[in-house]
Structure 1
Amino acid sequence: MTNYWEDVRKYYEDFESGMVAPHAEVYQHEMPGGQYSNLQQQAKAVGLGSRWDEVKSMYSRVNDMFGDIVKVTPSSKVVGDMALFMVQNDLTEEDIHNNGMKIDFPDSVIELFEGYLGQPHGGFPKELQKVILKDRKPITVRPGELLKEIDLLGLREELKSEMGTEPTEHDVITYALYPKVFKDYVQIISKFGDISVLDTPTFLHGMRLGEEIEIEIETGKTLIVKLISIGQPQPDGTRIVYFELNGQPREVIIKDESVKSTVQSKLKADSKNEAHIGATMPGTVLKVLVEKGKSVSKGEHLMITEAMKMETTVQAPFTGTIKNVYVESGEAIQTGDLLIEMDK
């Protein structure tokens, strides 16, 4: 088994954290090993790879600010989410305490201080809890007591409609536990088919020119695929890929995501204008909850965004009217992009 894992690990070297020896600095940031590699990838994904040392330092400071909580999954991720959020927005502990009532914190941080991950010994820091929760009330019972019973038969029918096929028991249980992740999985399967039949290097890195691979799509049925050439990018960002399938020449037009066909710049929020609500992290708009002209109250939910599986609910900073909404559900956003403009 040792030889097997030595060979397999090489396939995933692009995802390694670069830690090839014990790190004495763990006594400084107190970050669990699994969280270290995950958070480092998150930092790179949101453009903070060059500020990794700041993120590690901030992780330790956030942990102290939270009351030195027990850091296991998922509490260690919450500390990491807050560290990324603070470094990305150049916030200090003083900023959180003094201006936190105007800040939309990541949902994971709010849920932690609401008590949905449990209650730490001695409770949460009271003043910080008030700042993070604002008008929300924390729970005082075991979180599991608040879970609703799941109708597995109803869930099966819902999933059957979502998938278009009869789901397995494994599908139903997975959907019950991780609905959003499973829906993403279903969309990938619907678009690309069962990509689990690909070997690991091909799945992660694609094929080299002239390379030939065998894909067993079911017992006794194997496809032989050979990559012949890749065409030049077209104005619309597509390329023609030429390949052989079981010896027969084929071609397919694909969208090359690395090719920028048209650069469309978005309006940026004015940080000094309280009517401007801007993106605090690069990511995606999951759902827009309001429309132009709607009257909203202070603290009302306006939009849900996501950055590396870290969801943030954007709330109204004051009571007023939605003057304009500049993004749509599913749209990619960058830090500082103007999302919503309000009128008092």
Structure 2
Amino acid sequence: MDDWALLRAASEPSFSGALATVASAAGHAYRKAGAAMLLHADGRRTGCISPGCLEDDLQQRAERLAGRRTHELITYNLHPDEDPIWGSELGCGGVITVLLEPVEGGLRRSLRAAWSRVRAGEAVRLVRRMAGGTIRHAVVPLAAGAGDAAAEPDELPASVFLPRPRLILFGAGADAPPICDAAARIGFRVTVADWREPLLRPERFPLAESFAAGPGGVGLADALGIGAGDYVLLCSHHLRHDRGMLEAVLPRKPVYVGVLGSRKRAAALLDGLPADGRVRAPVGLPIGAVGPAEIAVSIAAELTAVRSVQRAMLGKEAADDANAGHLPGGGQRIAAGACETCG
């Protein structure tokens, strides 16, 4: 899910509400440990931690926490034999513990600090520790491997916030607008580059940045500052220009390089180049897509799959319960003591 929208909303001066974070998840769960959402005081929500099973209950709890110096840890047992408790016949089969905190004081300051740093392209961790019965928050850089570190005895689950990854579309032809729209809506920052300026009209790419430049090559890669954190998609349908971009981009080792077109065309483009697992040629998941809209769906699905691996490596959402952090009281439903957020 998109950290950008959550942090931006929490940083608004008028925001009032609570932050819900998945502290642990055992068995089937819609989101894993580390996932977060905002519950606005006016009933709106930013993000999600379930397909709607838990949010109504969390919203009522958030209303009761408003203005109080407390947080709450709530365990939801969604196994079918627990249905009489919830009465909704959810039957999801998992056990999920959620940390609910009013966005006030120290937490508000920390979320605003995280927003500033994420906007600047930095990945950060929001660290929570218990001190004298209160939660203390701090925003720290996301060090390599930090997502795998064991929690200290007094540490609550941390939240990891990542910048929007950049997707560079080289080529602004007829198939580029639906790809751009799909990628932007799933949380990518999209830049469309092409040497044919008439194709870069704002109405064709309302959700993207446009970059007019000469045909592909080292100069364009330098101008765009393509690096190891970027995703690149070649879709100009011009063999020589796409080949020039490939030669310039591959040494920079971006997360993902996609080549639009047939297997024969992809083989010709990659001939003699050091391609590895980062290169997807032809691009997109094999769903039998036909036409620009369906191809965009297949590409968005592949981008999501690659990004999910990257997020798990960074500890965005814990892959298993061992990374969920320490839960005071064994993660039972408790309303723990005073919260520093009022200070």
Q: TM-score, normalised by structure 1?
A: 0.25
- Structure with the greater alpha carbon radius of gyration: 1
Higher relative contact order (Cα pairs below 8 Å, separated by 6+ residues): 2
